[in-house]
Amino acid sequence: MPANLPPQYFEAERNLRLVKSPEEKIAVLEEMLAIMPKHKGTDHLRAELRGRIAKLTQLATKRSGVHRASMAIAKEGAAQVAVIGLPNVGKSQLVASITNASPAVAEYPFTTQTATPGMMEFENIQIQLIDTPPLAPLSIEWWLRHILIRADALLIVVDLNNDPLAQMEETVAQLGEIRIVIG
Least confident of 3-7, 34-38, 44-48, 105-109: 105-109
> 54 and 117 in one domain?
no
* pLDDT band at residue 69 under the 50/70/90 scheme: very low
- Of 63, 88, 108, the domain-final residue: 63
CA distances to 24, 56, 148, 157 from 31, rounded to whole Å, are 11, 15, 11, 25
* pLDDT at residue 88 in the model: 87
> 164 and 109 in one domain?
yes
pLDDT single digits (tens) 127-141: 999 988 888 877 777
> 86 and 57 in one domain?
no
Residue 91 located in a structural domain: yes
> 37 and 109 in one domain?
no
> 83 and 44 in one domain?
no
DSSP letters of 116-168? Answer: EEEEEEETTEEEEEEE-----TT---TTHHHHHHHSSEEEEE--TTS-HHHHH
Least confident of 68-72, 84-88, 118-122: 68-72
Entry pTM: 0.59
Contacts 24+ apart (CB under 8 A), 106-115: 109/134, 109/136, 110/134, 110/136, 110/139, 114/71, 115/71, 115/73, 115/143, 115/144, 115/147
> 59 and 117 in one domain?
no
Number of domains in the chain: 2
Q: Which domain holds residue 155?
A: 79-177
> 127 and 57 in one domain?
no
> 125 and 51 in one domain?
no
Residue 149 located in a structural domain: yes
- Residues 93/105, Cβ–Cβ less than 8 Å: yes
Residue 70 located in a structural domain: no
